[in-house]
């Protein structure tokens, strides 16, 4: 777990200001005191640190990510990490990746992050607003795949609203009228709200009404994997929609709901696209290994990475949100219902 500065101070028997001085390496500290703090860090499981007062580390960008089960293997996260590494290498600079459990609440910065001397911080899967605000006061900050509006930070995500609009219009053009939506909990100004507005707007422009039975919005459908979330994500949503009296002929959902929805369809013996069509919205472009080569409304992870790096180097305005344009990529997961 992340180690707080207070915990480090108690273990080392030093004041907070002394711990901060040792962590930063910018102020000279008596060697015996410095060694006490370093020993305490090692006992608490903090990564070993260099003596910055003697040899400073190269400045770079830190990518701060979670260790929650399965998230590190998330294909989109992996794509973004590769894009960030390539973009940083092209600039002749370093990307330091810190992966450890993230504080769910509180605003105290963990020692693991304080010890880094960097130009900016990127976060993935971190939704603790007080902690994000504290980080934004200290470093240029970009929150990837987040709808959080944090003063001094940039929130960066695919344009889920426009992607959902494109997905629904694509299905309507192929004769679908009972189109389901699977999203996260709909709240003011969040990504699931954008998806719902894109979905409802496309239906209304086509002269159709929104059928509440075809919308499943729940926090367990999307986002970071947690112990209290049944896996795969959105399987329950898929079963609920597909067992309803007005079963949809197609479903639009975020890319992190894909495994659960496909599992639900298989469990009910439904084939894709013969019995059920899918369009997934999000940040990952289609790959050759996609099952059934899914139709997706997506942007490239490389573009997300490039914009994120620009965001932490251009001093963004407070509370900025950047939506990356998405494009529909046709696959084999949509059945044409026209005559």
pLDDT digits (tens, 9 = 90+) for 271-288: 999 999 999 998 665 554
Instruction: State which of 29, 50, 71 marks the end of a domain.
Output: 50
Q: Give the pLDDT score at 228.
A: 55
Mean pLDDT computed over 39-63: 56
- Considering the domain architecture, whether residues 168 and 44 belong to the same structural domain is answered as no
Name the residue with higher pLDDT: 313 or 311: 311
- Judge whether 211 lies within some domain: yes
- Judge whether 111 lies within some domain: no
Secondary structure E strands in the chain: 60-65, 94-99, 120-124, 141-144, 153-158, 179-183, 215-217, 250-254, 277-282, 295-298, 320-324, 327-329
**Contact status, residue 66 vs residue 126, Cβ threshold 8 Å:** yes
Tokens coding 150: 């944090």
- Judge whether 290 lies within some domain: yes
Mean pLDDT computed over 235-260: 94
Q: Give the pLDDT score at 320.
A: 74
Name the residue with higher pLDDT: 278 or 158: 278
Q: Give the pLDDT score at 113.
A: 72
Report residue 225: phi and psi, to 5°. Answer: -75, 130
DSSP state of 251: E
Say which range, 29-43, 116-130, 146-160, 251-265, has the weakest mean pLDDT: 116-130
Q: Closest Cα to residue 290, out of 316, 246, 258, 265?
A: 258
Q: Give the pLDDT score at 92.
A: 66
CA dist 95 and 140 (Å) reads: 15
pLDDT confidence band for 161 (50 / 70 / 90): very high
- Judge whether 120 lies within some domain: no
CATH number at residue 250: 3.40.50.2300
Residue with token string 């003697």? 54
Q: Residue 277 region, left (φ>0) first, then alpha (ψ -120 to 50), else beta? A: beta
Omega of the bond prior to 241 within 30 degrees of 0, cis?
Answer: no
- Considering the domain architecture, whether residues 42 and 165 belong to the same structural domain is answered as no
- Judge whether 224 lies within some domain: yes
Tokens coding 99: 């992966």
Q: Give the pLDDT score at 203.
A: 98
Name the pTM for this structure. Answer: 0.76
Mean pLDDT of the chain: 80
Query: How many domains does one find in the chain?
Result: 2
Q: Give the pLDDT score at 141.
A: 86
Say if residue 66's pLDDT is above 60.
no
Mean pLDDT computed over 91-103: 63
Name the residue with higher pLDDT: 266 or 157: 266
Each residue's pLDDT tens digit, 174-229: 999 999 999 999 988 788 999 999 999 999 999 999 999 999 999 888 865 555 55
- Judge whether 83 lies within some domain: no
Mean pLDDT computed over 103-122: 72
Residues spanned by the domain of 6: 1-50
- Judge whether 81 lies within some domain: no
Mean pLDDT computed over 286-298: 70
- Judge whether 36 lies within some domain: yes
Mean pLDDT computed over 133-147: 84
Say if residue 165's pLDDT is above 90.
yes
Name the residue with higher pLDDT: 90 or 289: 90
């Amino acid at each position: 777990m992340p180690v707080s500065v207070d915990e480090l101070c108690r273990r080392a028997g030093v004041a907070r200001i002394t711990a901060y001085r040792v962590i930063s390496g910018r102020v000279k500290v008596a060697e015996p005191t410095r060694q006490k703090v370093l020993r305490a860090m090692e006992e608490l499981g903090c990564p070993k640190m260099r003596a910055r007062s003697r040899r400073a580390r190269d400045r770079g960008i830190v990518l701060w990510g979670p260790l929650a089960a399965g998230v590190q293997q998330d294909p989109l996260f992996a794509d973004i990490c590769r894009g960030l590494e390539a973009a940083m290498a092209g600039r002749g600079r370093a990307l330091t990746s810190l992966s450890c459990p993230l504080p769910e609440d509180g605003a105290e910065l963990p020692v693991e992050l304080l010890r880094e001397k960097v130009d900016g911080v990127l976060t993935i899967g971190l939704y603790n607003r007080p902690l994000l605000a504290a980080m934004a006061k200290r470093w240029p900050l970009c929150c990837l795949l987040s709808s959080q509006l944090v003063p001094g930070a940039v929130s960066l995500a695919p344009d889920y609203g426009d992607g959902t609009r494109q997905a629904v219009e694509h299905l309507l053009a192929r004769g679908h009228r009972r189109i389901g939506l699977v999203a996260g909990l709909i709240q003011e100004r969040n990504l699931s709200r954008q998806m719902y507005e894109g979905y409802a707007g496309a239906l209304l422009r086509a002269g159709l009404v929104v059928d509440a039975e075809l919308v499943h919005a729940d926090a367990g459908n999307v986002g970071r994997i947690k112990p209290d979330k049944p896996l795969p994500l959105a399987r329950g949503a898929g079963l609920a929609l597909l067992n309803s009296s007005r079963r949809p002929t197609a479903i639009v959902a975020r890319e992190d709901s894909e495994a659960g929805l496909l599992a639900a369809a298989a469990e009910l013996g439904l084939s894709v696209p013969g019995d059920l069509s899918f369009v997934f919205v999000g940040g990952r472009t289609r790959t050759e290994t996609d099952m059934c080569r899914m139709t997706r409304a997506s942007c490239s992870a490389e573009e997300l990475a490039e914009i994120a790096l620009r965001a932490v180097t251009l001093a963004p305005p407070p509370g900025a949100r950047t939506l990356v344009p998405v494009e529909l990529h046709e696959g084999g997961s949509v059945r044409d219902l026209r005559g």
